[in-house]
Structure 1
Amino acid sequence: MKKSLGLLVLLCAIAAACSSSDTPATAPEPVTDPVTTQAPVTEPPTTTEPEPEPGATTTTTTTTTTTTQPPTTTTTPPDPVVDRLPADPDAPVAEWVAGVNAAGWSFHRHLTGNAVSSPMSIGMAFSLSRAGASGDSGASLDEIFGFPEAGTHSAANAVDLRLAEASVEPTTLEVANQLFPDDGFSPLPDFLATAARQYGAAIEPVDTANGAAAADTINRWASERTRGLIPMIVDAGTVQDQKLVLVNTVYLKADWTRQFFAELTEDGQFNTGGNRWVTVPFMRDQSPVERRYVLLDEADAVELPYEGGELAMWLIVPHDAAGLPAVEESLDAAALTGLSRAARTGTVQLAMPKWEQTLPPADLFEWLCPQGFCPGAPFGGIAPDIFISAALHGAKVIVDEKGTEAAAATAVAFPTSMPPEPDLTIVADRPFLWAIVHQDTGALLFVGRLVNPAG
């Protein structure tokens, strides 16, 4: 009987451009739990980056199955390996980023209505799982995510470490990976070594025979890593009797370089399409601000950089209230991340809504299976006869006008004379596209579509 790998591709959580009291900048104190505390660190085995096993069985489209029968490998899980490798300067970073960006854009297009997702979170989780994929499963992932022919894991490691360099006050950008094996199951050493050295993944055994307790442990970890923005990503039924749960989180909290003042925020009308309007709070520039922008054929795009200069949000607002589908059809991931290279600088008068979006845990197989990667795909590089049974992704974004605490306390001085005419005026009062990009690597961290800011 096959054993099941529950691969849970978790989430991304972002509190953009805000220092709100409900999304604190510092992590909460870790929960001390003697049952789930990680074991002491031991020296990692000397291995090279594992390649997928040749000659594996063909990917199937069978439905999810689980088993409570003990696997053939029932030794105690080894201590976590945390000897993280430094970034390889020769790693194929550009190829890895381009493939993950393209896959993330494809998933975004799969979503309907209000949408938020993290190409980085999905790509990082499947890049890690690629270390345990059997031949056909690995080939399918390579096709979907564009992973490099060689050096996938060293590229992921280099990207992760470069993203960490952007996490400098007041910005917090954290990528985390965690393995939750059943406490009677032991993944293969080569997989564990790659997970630890290239992805910084630690191990926390759980008793998946008790689905409720296992889910509580996983959800607590995810909630801590996302500062409470994602309090739950799995339920008891999802993890019951699974042999391994792999979780990735991406958390971002950043302040605008040029903040919006709360005193200028006021209600305005947002056209959700078809002559339907909702009233929502709009943030607005006090006067025209020097920003970078791009004039597209059917939309205007403007850059909103974050403190530190490493990250920026691009807002793409169609000229026509019903024009977002055509604008998205005309773009791809390369065009989105290439906006920075095409931008000009000028004065922009901007008004945009405050918004909050949530993507409840979504079944990634609804997107992946039509591309040939379905439940039942074998992952013999994790353990013999292991297959994937679940893949979920959830996200949350909060966008408001707040900056740092000191900036929020600054008095607003209103001009006594009219400001000069801006080079461009953008009023985001219709469905629009947004994306958050890491400037150094070009990685698409988050992408979303706002159709109705009222929910």
Structure 2
Amino acid sequence: MNQFKRTLAISSLALPLLSLNACAVEGETVLDSKPESQTSATAPEPKPAAIEVNAVANSINAFATDLYAQLETSTQGNLVISPYSISSALSMTYAGAKGETEKQMAQVLHYTVGANIHPIFSNLQKSLTANNENGVYQLQIANALWYEESLFSTKTATDYADLLEKNYSARLHSVKFKNVESARQEINNWTADETEHKIKDLLKPGALSANTKLVLTNALYFLGSWQSPFEESNTKELPFIMALGKTEQVLTMSQDKTVNYWDTADFQAVELPYKKGNLSMAIVLPKEGKKLGINAFLGSMDKPEKQFVKIFLPKFKVETEFQLGDALQKLGMVDAFDASKANFSGINGSKNDLAIAAVVHKTFVDVNEKGTEAAAATAVVMARGIQLPPKVEFRVDRPFFFLIKDNDSGTILFLGHVANPKG
């Protein structure tokens, strides 16, 4: 029985905010003298157009490349992030930002200050998950707001919660953060449930404190089968040059397939579609001796050629965890983390009362040979009159990039590089 190759990709993010009443700076100038830039949760909103969804997708991707470049400088091994997951959690936080805090967050996230991006996020989420009902793949997106009950005693806070519930389908949970361990376990249990128990212990001991007032979480789970499966009988151990130059034998799959293909002076790349073609994975292999930035590939994504390629791709499993606070501050999101400057008065109506304590991001990606017989029944097999050998070989035998994207909006769901396929 042939098994379909499946990709399992999971991301989760937690963003705790601390109460900072004791740290407020008296007499600080209010920088946000313009009208409210965030639309009230109760105000009627126009239906977002497809062009707006694509614009938000472009913002997510631009932010992704900035953040990825920051993390890459301090990461020697495997690196995986979910741009969509991170952007979702930060956008929920951005909904309550005002003044200079809002401006800095908008700049880092590639938003226009004053633009009401939240209903567009809602439309994007609906678009991404539309095929779940058809059984094409599993793409589960879950957002949650965990709050200390005393925080939500104002109309501003109620409107903020309504906005998240309406536009991000965020589930609201009242917790007692004074019981730190109980709150941490509750959030971790939710994350595990939403990621099919692939991500556990998102929040480590010490991530929360008695001063925590609000935690925003996003969980993203994806499970899909290739449009064209790899035959398990073709999988063999082949040499792979690890990041530090050591060569090891790794299980490598292979197949001959007509795919979108790129070949430049700096890299080779192929695009492997998942069933129905709504999502795909691009594998990017820098040419020997070349150090490739992901932007070089993203700038060429709209210029593939169709090519019959012999593909050699290692099975890989990668799990990474990052504290994103330092990277976000280096990108310019400074005030949001500063107790004396943070302005999230759009959350509870009080300036200098909340600041971001941490941004915790964890991902799990498993590309392997598991699948079901039922999946084989949906495959379309076409016979060739004469089977010609592939013109091109794409042999992934050294560190490489990959990304999983939605082909309708262009949104990058996962982005990473693999230095060691064994994890």
Whether these two folds match at TM > 0.5 is: yes
**Which deviations, in whole Å up to 9, do the C-alpha atoms of 1:301-338 show, x marking residues without a partner?**
10100012110000011221x43xx2216626x42xx5
Contact 2:262–2:270 at 8 Å: present in 1 too? yes
Partner of 2:33: none
Partner of 1:260: 230
Report runs of 4+ in structure 1 exceeding 4 Å deviation: 64-69, 84-87, 407-410
Is the counterpart of residue 343 in structure 1 residue 311 in structure 2?
no
Partner of 1:202: 171
The amino acid that maps onto 2:203 is V
* TM-score, L = length of structure 2: 0.81
Cα distance between partner residues in 2 of 1:17 and 1:291: 16
Cα distance between partner residues in 1 of 2:168 and 2:51: 14
Cα distance between partner residues in 2 of 1:86 and 1:234: 37
Partner of 2:258: 290
Is the counterpart of residue 272 in structure 1 residue 242 in structure 2?
yes
Partner of 1:214: 183
**Which deviations, in whole Å up to 9, do the C-alpha atoms of 1:77-130 show, x marking residues without a partner?**
xxxx99x98952277222221121111122222232211010000111111111
The alpha-carbon deviation at position 449 of structure 1 amounts to: 0.2
The amino acid that maps onto 1:152 is I
Deviates more, 1:293-302 or 1:208-217: 293-302
Contact 1:262–1:402 at 8 Å: present in 2 too? no
Cα distance between partner residues in 2 of 1:265 and 1:177: 38
Which runs of structure 2 are paired with 1:40-79 in the superposition (5 Å)? Answer: none
Contact 1:304–1:313 at 8 Å: present in 2 too? yes
Partner of 2:54: 94
Judging by fraction of residues, say which structure has more helix: 2
Contact 1:223–1:229 at 8 Å: present in 2 too? yes
Partner of 2:152: 186
How many residue pairs get matched?
375
The alpha-carbon deviation at position 67 of structure 1 amounts to: 6.9
The amino acid that maps onto 1:379 is F
Please, which runs of 5 or more residues in structure 2 have no aligned partner?
11-16, 23-40
- Root-mean-square deviation (CA), in Å? 3.1
Cα distance between partner residues in 2 of 1:68 and 1:211: 19
Partner of 2:143: 177
Contact 1:171–1:308 at 8 Å: present in 2 too? no
The amino acid that maps onto 1:162 is S
Partner of 1:238: 207
The alpha-carbon deviation at position 183 of structure 1 amounts to: 3.5
Which runs of structure 2 are paired with 1:153-172 in the superposition (5 Å)? Answer: 153-167=118-132, 168-172=134-138
Q: Percent identity?
A: 27
Please, which runs of 5 or more residues in structure 1 have no aligned partner?
1-15, 25-63, 70-80
Partner of 1:36: none
Cα distance between partner residues in 1 of 2:112 and 2:241: 43
Cα distance between partner residues in 1 of 2:280 and 2:287: 22
Instruction: Tell me the SS of whatever aligns to 2:228.
Output: coil
Partner of 2:293: 328
* TM-score, L = length of structure 1: 0.76
Partner of 2:354: 386
